[in-house]
Amino acid sequence: MIILAIETSCDETCAAVVTLLRQGFGRASVKILSNVVYSQIDLHKEFGGVVPNIAKRAHEEKIEFVIKKALGKEIVDAIAVTAGPGLAIALEVGIRHAKEWASKLDKPLIAVNHIEGHVLSGLTPEVKFPAMALVVSGKHTDLIWVEKIGQYEIVARTMDDALGEALDKAARMLGLGYPGGAELEKRAALGDSKKYPLPLPMARSKELAFSYSGLKTAMWRLVNSLSLSEQTINDLAAAFQNRAFQHLLRITKLVMEKYPTQDLLVGGGVAANAKLREEIKRLSYEAGGNAWFPGKGMHGDNAAMIGIAAGFKAERGEFADPNKIDRLPRWRVDENAFVPHP
């Protein structure tokens, strides 16, 4: 089945064409025929974060161009769209245009959870289920037990900021550019992570959850107590990133001990961080398993991952009634939101 997928959950206007291929022993592989992303970074840079109204307006201006560029001359069998979670007014744009294209081409519609897309973004035929998934992005930090594709249980999530959000805020404290996570990574590579002590979040807790609020507060106090030379900024960036990653890895290790599995699927924009990838690979290796990461262009928000998730939903017959699809800004990946439509 060839699927046209549309993604507008935040500040990227995305469309892709994806096909799901079945191999021997029931294993599946994915072929991405196109994956178009229009980034709004320059539009939001001066504000230091995503402005919902600006995001919606940019989606409206670019979405038809992006869809037509991704579609080309392909003949598709279904239309997929992100229905949540995300910014409500951004989701609405993608859903409306997906409905219009489904009607125009007389094709069924598939509603996809954005987090499920991230979970499956690094999927390969070698992955064995059940597996664990780690989604780390600007808005989400979740560990998800994947019994099988389409059956999920959130076993740990953030109680406040997501990891990506915390990295962005730390970068802002240091006067770095937007988006902050990538800039913080560059400066951290030049710094001494042990120069300035920062607390390890939830160090004495066995609770399976993430929290970055205390670390952010400690960082703010430290920044305001120092004169920020270039090297001091590098050292502070390294200290914050190191502690943030240590916390993520510690909770991930606790979860993997409770839910033993050979495979860890990693997705989300923060998973592009080279240092974090290295540490996750080490953690998985020590646990006797494998870590699987998205390929090029698949870490951040994109429609190819939505198409991948949609392909499996199509195999299960989970097509949605166009009259019932609506935006779900807080849609959990372990919730079934739409009744299948024959």
Residue 231 lies in a domain: yes
d(CA 134, CA 154): 10
Residue 330 lies in a domain: no
pLDDT in 10s for each residue of the chain, 342 residues: 999 999 999 999 999 999 988 765 556 778 999 999 999 999 998 888 899 999 999 999 999 999 999 999 999 999 999 999 999 999 999 999 999 999 999 999 999 999 999 999 999 989 999 999 999 999 999 999 999 999 999 999 999 999 999 999 999 999 998 889 999 999 999 999 999 999 999 998 889 999 999 999 999 999 999 999 999 999 999 999 999 999 999 999 999 999 989 999 999 999 999 999 999 999 999 999 999 999 988 999 999 999 999 999 999 999 999 999 999 999 999 997 664 544
Q: What's the structural domain count of the chain?
A: 2
Residue 341 lies in a domain: no
d(CA 242, CA 5): 36
Q: Are 113 and 144 members of one domain? A: no
Q: Are 115 and 135 members of one domain? A: no
Q: Are 76 and 143 members of one domain? A: no
Q: Are 165 and 193 members of one domain? A: yes
Strand 109-113, strand 151-157: pairing? unpaired
- Which residues have CB under 8 Å from 60's CB, separation 6+? 93
d(CA 209, CA 85): 20
Residue 329 lies in a domain: no
Q: Are 41 and 185 members of one domain? A: no
CA–CA distances in Å: residue 39 to residues 20, 43, 183: 26, 9, 17
Residue 126 lies in a domain: no
Owning domain of residue 182: 131-292
Q: Are 164 and 218 members of one domain? A: yes
Q: Are 61 and 155 members of one domain? A: no
Q: Are 286 and 301 members of one domain? A: no
Q: Are 183 and 232 members of one domain? A: yes
Q: Are 77 and 225 members of one domain? A: no
Q: Are 80 and 104 members of one domain? A: yes
Strand partners, 263: 290
Q: Are 239 and 268 members of one domain? A: yes
User: Which CATH number characterizes residue 305's domain?
Assistant: 3.30.420.40
